[in-house]
Amino acid sequence: MKATNTTILALDVGGRRIGVARANTIARLPGPLTTLINDQSIFDKLAKIIQEEQVVSIVVGLPRGMNGQETKQTVHTRQFIEGLKRHFSIPVYSQDEALTSQKAEQEILTHPKKQNMGMIDALAATFILEDYLRQSNKSEEVLND
C-alpha cells in the first residue's frame, strides 16, 4: 500500500492575522507556510490552501491566560474553530498555544536576516504544530505499548 502525501495544517489565529504552518503527514516536520489577513474572505483563502496542500486535518492554537484561564481571545478562537468545522469536512483539533508567539518573536529576533515580523504568526503556528505532533507521537507510543 502506497502512503499518500498529505498535509496537516496549523493556524495561529489572531484578530488581524492568521499564521499558517504545515507538516507532511509522512515526514511530520512542521514549517511556516504563510500569514493571512483575517478578514471576511479568510475561509476562501483557507479553502485554497487546503486544496493545494491536500490538507487532511487542521490544528488551531488555543490561547489562554497566564494562569490557564479563558480570555476574550480564547472565546474568539473557539468561534473560529466552529467556523472551520462548518466550512470544511476535515477534522479540526485545538492545541494549547502557551507562549508560542513569544517563542516565535525571540526566534525572529535572534536571526536578523529573517526579521520579517509578518512571519511571527506563521512561526508561532509552526510551534503549535510541533507541540501537537510531539503530543500525538506520545499518544501513539502509549497505544502501541
Per-residue pLDDT at 27: 84
Q: Which domains does the chain have, with CATH numbers?
A: 7-135 (3.30.420.140)
Full pLDDT tens readout for the chain, 145 residues:
445 678 999 999 999 999 999 999 888 889 999 999 999 999 999 999 999 999 999 999 998 877 778 889 899 999 999 999 999 999 999 998 865 555 555 665 565 555 565 678 888 899 899 989 988 865 444 333 3
Cell of 50: 487546503
- Strands 7-13 and 17-24, by their bridges, are antiparallel
From residue 96, give the alpha-carbon distance in Å to each of 27, 40, 69, 129, 132. 23, 25, 12, 10, 9
At residue 51, the pLDDT reads 96
